[in-house]
Chains A and B, each alone.
Chain A
Amino acid sequence: EVQLVESGGGFVQPGGSLRLSCAASGFTFNNYWMTWVRQAPGKGLEWVANIKQDGREKYYVDSLKGRFTVSRDNAKNSLYLQMDSLRAEDTAVYYCGRALEREKNDAFDVWGQGTMVTVSS
């Protein structure tokens, strides 16, 4: 079964850091672009970052550049999101996703269940 499972969410104080993980199974992980998308409570989806198959190309939404870092470990079939200098507005459910097609990064058809990050003092 093709599956993505996020972990690592939780409560963190403003200014703190958190590292999210996304474990992939059921497909050849290193064949696909991967993405992180977040959703603040009661709000819409927001694209966060994409990472290419080999991890050498990474792209971020402008508003998060410098605070968030996406990475992957193909040997461990895992995707990561390092989040630093967290702010209250980063509070959201974070989803990881897999690209629909191997060489494209515009549409994502496999998603995890999401992990909640709450930034509060």
Chain B
Amino acid sequence: QSALTQPPSASGSPGQSVAISCTGTSSDVGGYNYVSWYQQRPGQAPKLMIYEVTKRPSGVPDRFSGSKSGNTASLTVSGLQAEDEADYYCSSYAGSNNLVFGGGTKLTVL
């Protein structure tokens, strides 16, 4: 159950697109289509943004999208807005009813 690998930081200007990667192994990200992404603002609980790699829960703007290739999943935020500035965490099903999170990426809107 090793943590998934995310870049510590990412940034973009308003209106731009930014992608955040999440790298695991064939035992987690690569083995299942159960990757989720969470947004967390300072002092707040996580908020589910993407589940099952590409799906958006009700209420999440379509500026947020997810994808996966091999052992790496990605979250793309298009049309960056100031309110998107937050920490983002990926998580993946890792078999045997276990979950694993990534280390988190701090997204800065310049």
Binding site for B on A (CB under 8 A): 35, 37, 44-47, 50, 57, 59, 61-63, 95, 97, 100, 105-109, 111-114
- Which residues does B use to contact A, with CB under 8 Å? 1, 3, 34, 36, 38, 40, 45-48, 51-52, 57, 87, 89, 91, 93, 96-104
Kindly list the 9 A-B residue pairs having the minimum CB-CB distance in the complex, ordered from nearest. A107-B51, A111-B45, A44-B104, A106-B34, A59-B97, A47-B99, A107-B36, A109-B48, A106-B93
Asked if residues B36 and A106 are in contact (CB atoms below 8 Å), the reply is yes
Asked if residues B46 and A95 are in contact (CB atoms below 8 Å), the reply is: yes
User: CA A80 – CA B18 in complex, angstroms?
Assistant: 38
Question: With the chains together, A107 CA to B56 CA distance in Å?
Answer: 11
Write the nearest CB–CB distance from B100 to chain A, whole angstroms: 7
What chain B residues lie within 8 Å of A105 (beta carbons)? 97, 99
Q: Which residue on chain B has the smallest CB distance to residue A50?
A: B97
B45 & A44 in contact (Cβ 8 Å cutoff):
no
Q: Given A62-B98, A107-B51, A108-B36, list of 17 further CB < 8 A pairs?
A: A37-B101, A44-B3, A45-B46, A45-B89, A45-B91, A47-B99, A47-B100, A61-B98, A100-B51, A100-B57, A106-B34, A106-B36, A106-B91, A108-B46, A109-B57, A111-B45, A111-B46
| B45 contact from A59, A100, A106, A114, Cβ within 8 A | A114
Contacts of B3 in A (CB 8 A): 44
Question: Given A45-B89, A112-B45 in contact, is the A59-B96 Cβ separation under 8 Å?
Answer: yes
Report the minimum CB–CB distance from A100 to chain B (whole Å). Answer: 6
